[in-house]
């Protein structure tokens, strides 16, 4: 099976902006927590809807622009010990794009600096790569797929056979952590710490409908590993 890379920082950021339903916006000394009020356009700009009652909405109507920072949190949909898979922060410029009759303000956020923060540390995202990156094809369905797969412990037991044996010492629980076009990520929990292990697909997924086939291939490969996995 050919190895598959992890998603690039630019792809991870695009995916998080697509999959996340919430974000925190900081601008002109104001903080706004928004749910289901953003989307990303093809140019990579984040289009944000601001309730008319917010101070920031009133500021944009008056001043038309503001420096701003966006923060997002990537949460695992499954019940792992630490659900935070990573965070993202974008700094850029917020510009008034329009105002609806009900007073809702639409703003266009153009990033100037972006970074991904996870267990490995902080990684700056190349903005040229960000502009050409596309979200993972499973971005909007990953949560549902993982939660469904998580109800099948035998599947996780089978996949765990593909984990290098030295990573399993002291492991008392293995859970599904992530699923993307490149493969599955398992969370290995010990009493003191966690380890995440990626199991790559033989070929990247291009459509959600291909996930079942890729998983069957992984499980079949795991079935050829005769060692016992206890957790």
User: CA-to-CA distance for 111 and 184, rounded, in angstroms?
Assistant: 30
User: CA-to-CA distance for 83 and 22, rounded, in angstroms?
Assistant: 16
Question: pLDDT value at position 4?
Answer: 47
Question: pLDDT value at position 226?
Answer: 58
Residue 231 lies in a domain: no
E strands in the chain: 22-27, 30-35, 38-40, 46-50, 65-75, 84-99, 105-118, 121-124, 173-180, 183-189, 194-200
**pLDDT: is 192 or 32 the higher one?**
32
CA angle 224, 2, 157 (to 5 degrees): 35
Domain co-membership, 16 together with 107: yes
Residue 152 lies in a domain: yes
Domain co-membership, 122 together with 165: no
Residue (of 47, 70, 46, 66) closest to 56 by Cα position: 66
Question: pLDDT value at position 1?
Answer: 38
Residue 4 lies in a domain: no
How many domains are contained in the chain? 2
Q: Which domain holds residue 98?
A: 9-132
CA quadruple 181, 141, 16, 79: dihedral positive or negative? negative
State the virtual CA torsion across 47, 50, 56, 62 in degrees, nearest 10: 80
Residue 230 lies in a domain: no
Domain co-membership, 179 together with 121: no
**pLDDT tens per residue, range 125-142:** 999 999 999 999 999 999
**pLDDT tens per residue, range 146-170:** 999 988 889 999 999 999 988 888 9
* Final residue before a domain boundary, out of 132, 163, 189: 132
Q: Is the pLDDT of residue 229 over 60?
A: no
Domain co-membership, 154 together with 75: no
Residue 214 lies in a domain: yes
* Final residue before a domain boundary, out of 102, 132, 162: 132
E strands in 28-119: 30-35, 38-40, 46-50, 65-75, 84-99, 105-118
Cβ contacts of 174 within 8 Å, gap of 6 or more: 156, 157, 160, 163, 186, 187, 188, 189, 229, 231
**pLDDT tens per residue, range 3-18:** 447 899 999 999 999 9
**pLDDT tens per residue, range 85-98:** 999 999 999 999 99
What average pLDDT score do residues 33-57 get? Answer: 94
Residue 187 lies in a domain: yes
User: CA-to-CA distance for 156 and 129, rounded, in angstroms?
Assistant: 34
Q: Is the pLDDT of residue 73 over 60?
A: yes
Give one word for 161, left, alpha or beta, with left for phi > 0 and alpha for psi -120 to 50. alpha
Domain co-membership, 123 together with 156: no
Domain co-membership, 115 together with 59: yes
Question: pLDDT value at position 115?
Answer: 97
Q: Which of 47-51, 143-147, 167-171 has the lowest mean pLDDT?
A: 167-171
Domain co-membership, 113 together with 187: no
CATH of the domain at 68: 2.30.110.10
């Amino acid at each position: 099976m050919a190895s598959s890379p992890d998603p690039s920082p630019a792809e991870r950021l695009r995916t998080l902006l697509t999959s996340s339903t919430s974000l925190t916006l900081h601008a002109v000394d104001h903080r706004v927590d928004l749910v289901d009020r953003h989307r990303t356009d093809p140019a990579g700009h984040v289009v944000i809807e601001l309730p008319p009652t917010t101070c920031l909405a009133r500021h944009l109507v008056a001043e038309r622009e503001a420096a701003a920072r966006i923060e997002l949190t990537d949460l695992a949909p499954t019940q792992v010990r630490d659900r935070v898979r990573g965070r993202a922060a974008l700094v850029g410029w917020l510009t008034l794009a329009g105002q609806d009759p009900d007073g809702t303000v639409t703003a266009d956020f153009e990033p100037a600096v972006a970074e991904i923060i996870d267990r490995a540390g902080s990684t700056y995202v190349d903005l040229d790569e960000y502009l050409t990156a596309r979200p993972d094809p499973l971005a909007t369905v990953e949560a549902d797929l993982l939660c469904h797969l998580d109800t099948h412990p035998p599947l996780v037991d089978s996949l765990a056979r593909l984990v290098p044996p030295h990573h399993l010492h002291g492991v008392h629980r293995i859970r599904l952590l992530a699923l993307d076009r490149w493969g599955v990520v398992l969370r290995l929990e010990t009493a003191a710490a966690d380890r995440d292990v990626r199991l790559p697909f033989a070929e990247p997924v291009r459509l959600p409908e291909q996930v079942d086939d890729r998983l069957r291939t992984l499980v079949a490969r795991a079935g050829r590993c005769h060692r016992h996995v206890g957790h």
